[in-house]
Structure 1
Amino acid sequence: MKKMIIASTSTVHGSTYLEYLLPTLKLHFKGVKELLFIPYARPSGISYDTYTAIAKKAFSNLNIDVKGIHEFENTKEAIKNSEAIFTGGGNTFELVNQLYKNEVLIVLKEIIDNGTPYLGTSAGSNICGVNMKNTNDMPIVYPPSFTTLGCIPFNINAHYLDPIEGSTHMGETRDTRIKEFHVFNDTPVLGLREGSWLEVANDAVFLRGKLTARLFEQNKQPIELKSGGLINEF
């Protein structure tokens, strides 16, 4: 039975790292003493040790110890033996590249499908979908494949931004980019706004947080989904 929290972001405006999610994570990781952190996405290019220290500080509020996957000689066994997993945000291309390089994508999916509690934020949420094609990140490296975990039957566009009325910016909006994606792909895409997250319980996916999310499907008009609702009936 899958047990996942898939969050658009780790930090909302005016709060510290994971602060807004702590009440949810306290329940999600109930009984967990040690969590395995996957720092491969390296936001701003920080080191694995620095990133793990940030996660460790946040989870100290829940009395949960954190160890980085890079601290283990055998990464596959580290995942298999973990009580819980957290994959942080950063660059999705590098995250997926390292998951393939270390040959841990399949084992990560297996333990999530078997019920190991999982938290993903930003890039760590992008990998929960069918593929990583709706990330906002620059392709700084070239992973062997764009295929990701497929734990949910759609893709995530994290940090989703609505078009700003009256803006003079001439670049493409998120809506435009996702429309371009749907010319060649039929995978649904969920625009997940800042401060929103998904709660996955086995095959049920619920939207949580105060905001709606925007669902895009091929050859259909986008629709707004209300928080608290079941959203995986495509």
Structure 2
Amino acid sequence: MELFLLSNSRNHGHGFLEHVLDEVSDFIGPGGHLAFVPFALKDHDAYTKVVAEALAPRGITVTGVHATADPLRAVAEAEVLFIGGGNSFRLLKTLQRTGLREVVRERVLAGELRYMGSSAGTNMACPTLRTSNDMPIAEPDSFEALGLVPFQINPHYLDPDPSSTHMGETRQQRLEEFLEDNDVPVLGLREGTWLRVSGSTARLGGAKAARLFTRGAEPRELAPGSDVPELLTMTPHFDS
């Protein structure tokens, strides 16, 4: 199984995917072709154009599966799939309604399809949406996502700001609340970071550390370049 899971596709001071373009090119392959799932945003054509323009300098072509006669067939024949960011609830609802969730999951787990996700697309790789930052603007049939990894990810992870006067919960507190009811590790990916899974290896990339939350323990910092294969063998336990 080959996964490339980004916290974000836009990094401060950079264009779309610019901060990670070398890694994306390596994952897709020079002159490769990418099937793109734009369903997390409303304007599918505009979103696909942004992705295509970002990857064109590397000779990578992009097809939005929404624009094909048969999106299921497009995914069934693809070698590399990218599910972009946006609203995770809208995205999951569309994947469920179209039947794409089952096709993507089956092909990725079989090693037939390389999977790249960003933000909402990274949320899709997890067992559920329960650690998404998004507002539920749409109602999927369930929170069950693709389950390509057995742990949860929190993209765009933000550290607590000790100087903030905001009295609401921090991201850390939100994730600790999740762990009160679910015994599932959560990997907090800060902006500009990613996780690359290849077979039994899971390596962190980017200039910042990731933060790992587990039940009954203090959050643990994981340095860039760390290999965390133990996450791939976890058995998640969700509150039903």
TM-score, normalised relative to structure 1: 0.95
Aligned to 1:106: 102
Secondary structure of the corresponding residue to residue 216 of structure 2: coil
Of 74, 81, 91, which residue of structure 2 is paired with 1:78? Answer: 74
Structure 1 portions without partners, runs of 5+: none
Measure how far apart 1:32 and its partner are: 5.3
Aligned to 1:168: 165
Identical counterparts, % of pairs? 40
Aligned to 2:33: 34
Measure how far apart 1:162 and its partner are: 0.2
Mapped to 2, the partners of 1:38 and 1:94 lie a distance apart of 12
Which stretch shifts more, 202-211 or 157-166? 202-211
Aligned to 1:214: 211
Measure how far apart 1:203 and its partner are: 2.7
Q: Residue 104 of structure 2 aligns to which amino acid in structure 1?
A: L
TM-score, normalised relative to structure 2: 0.92
Mapped to 2, the partners of 1:92 and 1:85 lie a distance apart of 17
Of 56, 59, 72, which residue of structure 1 is paired with 2:52? Answer: 56
Q: Residue 97 of structure 1 aligns to which amino acid in structure 2?
A: K
Q: Does 1:196 align with 2:201?
A: no
Mapped to 1, the partners of 2:30 and 2:165 lie a distance apart of 51
Aligned to 2:238: none
Q: Residue 45 of structure 2 aligns to which amino acid in structure 1?
A: D
Secondary structure of the corresponding residue to residue 230 of structure 2: coil
For the 8 Å contact 2:5–2:196, the answer to whether it is kept is yes
Q: Does 1:16 align with 2:12?
A: no
Measure how far apart 1:52 and its partner are: 0.5
Mapped to 1, the partners of 2:217 and 2:99 lie a distance apart of 37
Q: Residue 156 of structure 2 aligns to which amino acid in structure 1?
A: H
Q: Deviations over 1:103-140 (max 9, x none)?
A: 11111012222142221110010111111110000000
Aligned to 2:151: 154
Structure 2 portions without partners, runs of 5+: 232-240
Of 164, 167, 176, which residue of structure 2 is paired with 1:179? Answer: 176
Of 126, 130, 147, which residue of structure 2 is paired with 1:129? Answer: 126
For the 8 Å contact 2:31–2:58, the answer to whether it is kept is no
For the 8 Å contact 2:204–2:226, the answer to whether it is kept is yes
For the 8 Å contact 1:3–1:115, the answer to whether it is kept is no
Q: How many residues align?
A: 230
Q: Deviations over 1:45-75 (max 9, x none)?
A: 4x10010110110110211111111112322
For the 8 Å contact 1:36–1:68, the answer to whether it is kept is yes
Aligned to 2:235: none
Mapped to 1, the partners of 2:25 and 2:51 lie a distance apart of 15
What do you get for the CA RMSD once the two structures are aligned? 1.2
Mapped to 2, the partners of 1:168 and 1:69 lie a distance apart of 44
